[in-house]
Amino acid sequence: MSKHFLGDFGDFAVTVVVTRPPWHENCYIVRHRPSGALVVVDPGGDSDDILAAVAAEGGTPQAIWLTHGHPDHIGAVAAVETALGIPTLAHTDEAPVIAAAGSLNRTLTGAGLDKPGALQPFDGEPVLNLGGAPVRTIRTPGHTPGGVCYDFGPFVLTGDTLFRQGVGRTDLPGGNEEMLWASIPRLLGMVADDSLLCSGHGPAWTAGEARRWWQMVA
């Protein structure tokens, strides 16, 4: 596990916990500084490390938000839910992916997985609330059917839809390459050039950099 402070973005402070092998997944802890409200986005594993990072933030945990339901992004959900007494939000179209996460994890790693116990599905593209600050949900199906990105304004959490010079895989159950190829330009058309795109694995880059790359490869 590694933990680092990504930065202050207006009213938001963002810390990243990178889980251990084999996934090296980015779990984001976002705190709304004026209110102290805090969300945990995609707690993929290493629950003790994530909970320690949450405690170090000193805020008030509000919820877990999922970009999607693959096992490398929900491995610590049940433990974090229980420890913090908070619900988990995910798009309703992601229900079958979350339901199958345990069997997929056994296929990939040989280990089981505790699924969310306090799941609250949402539909469409709701504007979520963190301490009174609006956070836009952007639907980006393709990597999974219910994949979403969370647009905080100065930064966007893109899950596994879009990486720095890479896109999410579509060969797992529920993946759809045509849908992903439609989701990426839509996403890039909805965010500002200087918005930092923070993915589920690897480093961040700006939306402007992503647009220029996409124009070359698409």
Domain count along the chain = 1
CATH number at residue 80: 3.60.15.10
Q: How many CA atoms lie within 13 A of 6 on its CB side?
A: 28
Mind listing the pLDDT tens digit for each residue in 15-61?
999 999 999 999 999 999 999 999 999 999 999 999 999 999 999 99
CA distance 137 to 135: 7
Q: What is the pLDDT of residues 182-193, one digit of tens each?
A: 999 999 999 999
- The secondary structure of 28-59 as a DSSP string is EEEEETTT-EEEEE---S-HHHHHHHHHHHT-
Domain limits at 101?
A: 2-217
Which residue's structure tokens are 């994530």? 50
pLDDT single digits (tens) 76-134:
999 999 999 999 999 999 999 999 999 999 998 988 899 899 999 999 999 999 999 99
